[in-house]
Amino acid sequence: MSRLRLLSAAALLALAANAHATSLIVTTDAIVGALKATSDATSDATSSLRDHKIVRAARDDAASFVATDGAIRGVKLESAFDHIRQQAPQLHATDAQLAQAILAI
Protein backbone atom coordinates (compact mmCIF):
# COMPACT_ATOMS: atom_id res chain seq x y z
CA MET A 1 0.00 0.00 0.00
CA SER A 2 2.81 2.40 0.80
CA ARG A 3 4.35 1.72 -2.61
CA LEU A 4 1.07 2.78 -4.26
CA ARG A 5 0.96 5.97 -2.20
CA LEU A 6 4.58 6.70 -3.04
CA LEU A 7 3.93 6.26 -6.77
CA SER A 8 0.77 8.38 -6.54
CA ALA A 9 2.63 11.14 -4.73
CA ALA A 10 5.43 11.05 -7.31
CA ALA A 11 2.89 11.26 -10.15
CA LEU A 12 1.13 14.21 -8.51
CA LEU A 13 4.44 16.00 -7.98
CA ALA A 14 5.38 15.45 -11.63
CA LEU A 15 2.03 16.85 -12.79
CA ALA A 16 2.28 19.84 -10.46
CA ALA A 17 5.82 20.62 -11.59
CA ASN A 18 4.77 20.36 -15.23
CA ALA A 19 1.78 22.66 -14.65
CA HIS A 20 3.98 25.17 -12.84
CA ALA A 21 6.57 25.12 -15.64
CA THR A 22 3.85 25.57 -18.26
CA SER A 23 2.39 28.48 -16.30
CA LEU A 24 5.83 30.07 -16.06
CA ILE A 25 6.38 29.68 -19.81
CA VAL A 26 3.00 31.20 -20.65
CA THR A 27 3.58 34.12 -18.28
CA THR A 28 7.08 34.70 -19.64
CA ASP A 29 5.81 34.60 -23.22
CA ALA A 30 3.10 37.14 -22.39
CA ILE A 31 5.56 39.52 -20.73
CA VAL A 32 8.10 39.23 -23.53
CA GLY A 33 5.37 39.79 -26.12
CA ALA A 34 4.15 42.92 -24.35
CA LEU A 35 7.68 44.29 -24.03
CA LYS A 36 8.34 43.62 -27.71
CA ALA A 37 5.15 45.41 -28.74
CA THR A 38 6.07 48.41 -26.60
CA SER A 39 9.62 48.40 -27.93
CA ASP A 40 8.39 48.20 -31.53
CA ALA A 41 6.01 51.12 -31.03
CA THR A 42 8.72 53.23 -29.41
CA SER A 43 11.19 52.29 -32.11
CA ASP A 44 8.71 53.26 -34.83
CA ALA A 45 8.08 56.64 -33.19
CA THR A 46 11.76 57.46 -32.71
CA SER A 47 12.67 56.19 -36.17
CA SER A 48 10.15 58.48 -37.79
CA LEU A 49 11.49 61.45 -35.78
CA ARG A 50 15.11 60.48 -36.44
CA ASP A 51 14.57 60.94 -40.17
CA HIS A 52 13.55 64.60 -39.84
CA LYS A 53 16.33 67.12 -40.36
CA ILE A 54 14.62 69.63 -38.07
CA VAL A 55 14.78 67.24 -35.13
CA ARG A 56 18.36 66.17 -35.82
CA ALA A 57 19.47 69.80 -36.11
CA ALA A 58 18.08 70.53 -32.63
CA ARG A 59 20.40 68.17 -30.75
CA ASP A 60 22.78 70.90 -29.55
CA ASP A 61 19.88 73.11 -28.45
CA ALA A 62 18.29 70.12 -26.70
CA ALA A 63 21.54 69.46 -24.83
CA SER A 64 21.66 73.09 -23.67
CA PHE A 65 18.00 72.94 -22.67
CA VAL A 66 18.49 69.79 -20.59
CA ALA A 67 21.76 70.99 -19.04
CA THR A 68 20.19 74.27 -17.87
CA ASP A 69 16.86 72.79 -16.76
CA GLY A 70 15.05 74.67 -19.51
CA ALA A 71 16.69 78.06 -19.06
CA ILE A 72 18.23 78.02 -22.56
CA ARG A 73 15.70 77.48 -25.34
CA GLY A 74 17.29 77.59 -28.77
CA VAL A 75 15.45 78.45 -31.97
CA LYS A 76 16.17 75.04 -33.51
CA LEU A 77 14.78 73.31 -30.43
CA GLU A 78 11.59 75.37 -30.53
CA SER A 79 11.22 74.49 -34.20
CA ALA A 80 11.72 70.80 -33.39
CA PHE A 81 9.11 70.98 -30.62
CA ASP A 82 6.59 72.48 -33.04
CA HIS A 83 7.44 69.90 -35.69
CA ILE A 84 7.10 66.96 -33.30
CA ARG A 85 3.79 68.21 -31.93
CA GLN A 86 2.44 68.64 -35.47
CA GLN A 87 3.58 65.15 -36.48
CA ALA A 88 2.26 63.48 -33.32
CA PRO A 89 -0.63 65.52 -31.87
CA GLN A 90 -1.61 62.60 -29.60
CA LEU A 91 1.76 62.88 -27.84
CA HIS A 92 1.38 64.75 -24.55
CA ALA A 93 5.01 65.19 -23.57
CA THR A 94 6.59 68.10 -21.75
CA ASP A 95 9.32 70.17 -23.35
CA ALA A 96 11.86 68.50 -21.07
CA GLN A 97 10.71 65.03 -22.15
CA LEU A 98 10.89 66.00 -25.81
CA ALA A 99 14.38 67.47 -25.37
CA GLN A 100 15.56 64.27 -23.72
CA ALA A 101 14.00 62.23 -26.52
CA ILE A 102 15.81 64.34 -29.11
CA LEU A 103 19.09 63.65 -27.32
CA ALA A 104 18.31 59.92 -27.24
CA ILE A 105 17.76 59.73 -31.01
Question: What is the pLDDT at residue 13?
Answer: 62
Average pLDDT, integer, range 76-98: 90
pLDDT for the residue numbered 76: 94
| 35 against 84, higher pLDDT | 84
pLDDT tens-digit readout, 32-79 = 565 555 544 444 444 566 667 888 899 999 999 999 999 999 999 999
CA pair distance 64, 96, nearest whole angstrom:
11
Residue at 27: amino acid letter: T
Q: How far is it, in rounded angstroms, from Cα 82 to Cα 100?
A: 15
